Amino acid sequence: MPEVLLKKLDAEFSDPIQYFLNSDGQQIELNSFLGKKLKIENTGQKVCIRCGAKTKKLYGEGFCYKCFITAPEADSCIIYPEKCKAHLGISRNMEWSKSHCLIDHYVYLSVTDHLKVGVTRNTQIPKRWIDQGALLAIKLAKTPYRQLAGLIEVDLKQHFSDKTFWKKMLLTTSPPDIDLLEAKRSAAALLKPEFKKYLDLDNTIYSIHYPFISLPTKITSVNLDKTPVIEGTLMGIKGQYLIFDNGQVINIRKHSGFVVKISS
């Protein structure tokens, strides 16, 4: 297999989730590697996933420094939606913001190993839930732009977690005993009056199943800068993680911009 520029895993909502690694026109279907030997080797090369420039150091999730400080994809509102100012006409790139920030957003509740609240664009459902390794999810509120969804999330973070604990998430294969519909009712009751009009009446509970053969009892996250070769039998894929029989796991999204060799 030729060298591959790592980018976040793409996923297709099915039972189980179908995972793909897309790189420069290549599409590698990953589920077929389950139960087989897989080797990922760092070549030492790093490339900005936005502009394609070679770089010694990557920032954020795969950017060179110039793109990190100028690209709308790397703006602070990606992590903190409540800081988005696109609705005020302020953005690193308003054309980008029109299709990413000034569109419908959802506030949602999801279950990984615990109940959490989050925000995503309407175009990222259910991909956002898959990325975080959620087992269950439900829409809570729908807003016309990003910052408003972020404000609702901030309001609810007083009562619900907004964090995903990666080890617990990876080792949790069935949902804990949480009534997601009741959790939605509780969250709705906690909303400030000015936010209640954005409540979403869709009570569909999404159930997500990931491709697994089995799980190791202990897992260790691998950084390709420190461990340039990860090798073993692929036992599962969840969120953005590949899980190997030796307990090593690698977060592909965090290695965006790394050029690697993949072999089986």
pLDDT digits (tens, 9 = 90+) for 96-132: 999 999 999 999 999 999 999 999 999 999 999 999 9
Q: Is residue 64 part of a domain?
A: no
Phi, psi of 229 (to 5 degrees): -130, 125
- Assess whether 218 and 141 both reside in one domain: no
Per the prediction, the chain carries an average pLDDT of 96
- Assess whether 190 and 243 both reside in one domain: no
Q: Is residue 172 part of a domain?
A: yes
Distances (CA, A) of 27 to 5, 55, 97, 212, 235: 11, 24, 28, 21, 20
Please say if the pLDDT value at position 187 is more than 70: yes
Structure tokens at 173: 């294969």
* Strand pairing report for 220-221 and 248-251: parallel
- Assess whether 158 and 104 both reside in one domain: yes
Q: Is residue 199 part of a domain?
A: yes
- Assess whether 201 and 215 both reside in one domain: no
In the chain, the number of structural domains is: 2
Distances (CA, A) of 99 to 60, 94, 152, 208, 242: 21, 9, 21, 27, 31
* Strand pairing report for 206-207 and 136-143: antiparallel
Q: Is residue 221 part of a domain?
A: yes
Q: pLDDT grade, residue 1 (50/70/90)? A: low
Please say if the pLDDT value at position 59 is more than 80: yes
The pLDDT value given to residue 22: 86
Please say if the pLDDT value at position 54 is more than 80: yes
Q: Is residue 30 part of a domain?
A: yes
Domain that holds residue 161: 75-206
Alpha-carbon distance of 144 to 146, in angstroms, equals 7
Alpha-carbon distance of 111 to 50, in angstroms, equals 32
- Amino acid identity of residue 32, one-letter, is S
Ramachandran quadrant class, 156 (left: phi over 0; alpha: psi -120 to 50; beta: rest): alpha
The pLDDT value given to residue 26: 78
Q: Is residue 151 part of a domain?
A: yes
Q: Are 20 and 252 in contact (CB under 8 A)?
A: no
Structure tokens at 218: 């202990």
Its pTM surpasses 0.85: yes
Alpha-carbon distance of 243 to 180, in angstroms, equals 28
Q: What is the arithmetic mean of pLDDT over 174-190? A: 95
Q: What percent of the chain has pLDDT over 90?
A: 92
* Strand pairing report for 37-46 and 26-29: unpaired
